[in-house]
Amino acid sequence: MNHASMSVARSWHWPSRVGLRVYSCYFVVIGALFVVGYGGSNWLAAQRAQQLHLYLPGELAIPFIPAMIAPYLSINLLFALPLFRLGAQELRLLGRQMITTTLIATVFFLSVPTALGFTRSTVASDLASAYQLLYSLDYPYNCVPSLHVAYASQIVFALAAGGSHRLRVSLALWLCLIMASTVLIHQHNILDLAGGLLLAACTRAIVKERGSHSSARVRPRGVATQTAGSE
């Protein structure tokens, strides 16, 4: 068996039963951790007399663009795409990474409470109800690191692996649009975005596929054996 046959081909496909079951289990766990961890620490931050403000004064001049809530909310579509591209093992890996991300972020939120630099704007348009719902569910605390950016980054990294150049560019542009939207609807400051990207990258480096190290050690011997047999 050569190396090419050992690699798993990436393609878009309808979700399998195993994939749906794996995704559902991890989605429930991540959702519960998010509600308890992020929601609870957000509520606790609101009770504190002081929070850190980690932004530059010049950032407050960034305009508020209500229509950017569309790419902000597009993360919900992004959450569904792994089902149509990743296998069960890859879904488990992504799930473990996102669970770890949520736990690390919650510890940071509790240890270093931060507050949003922007004053939330009143939206007088067809988008008013969307912003009212967003503001009622998400208090302007727990800004660094941005879980919105961390989650989006991890999903994009997973989807882009093994993909074509066009797919990687498209996903990168989508991620950039989501990141820009968090600032342009005044949900985050710039440092929050950097924190989210860093958290996603660190988690991917820490939480890897199980058995990857052992397989890396065994593979050279297997290749050597095949070479010797072919000579």
DSSP the chain: --HHHHSPPP---PPPHHHHHHHHHHHHHHHHHIIIIIIHHHHHHHHSS--B--S-GGGGGSPP-GGGHHHHHTHHHHHHGGGGT--HHHHHHHHHHHHHHHHHHHHHHHHS-BB-SSPPPPP-STTHHHHHHHHHHS-SB--SS-HHHHHHHHHHHHHHTT--HHHHHHHHHHHHHHHHHHHHTTS--HHHHHHHHHHHHHHHHHS--TTHHHHHHHHHHHHHHHHHHH-
Distance CA 139, CA 39 (A): 9
- pLDDT at position 71 over 80: yes
CB 30 within 8 A of CB 149: no
pLDDT score at 9: 53
Residue 137 pLDDT grade (very low, low, confident, very high; cuts 50, 70, 90): confident
Q: Which residues contact 25 (CB under 8 A, 6 or more apart)?
A: 95
pLDDT score at 142: 87
Distance CA 94, CA 198 (A): 16
- pLDDT at position 123 over 90: no
The pTM score is 0.85
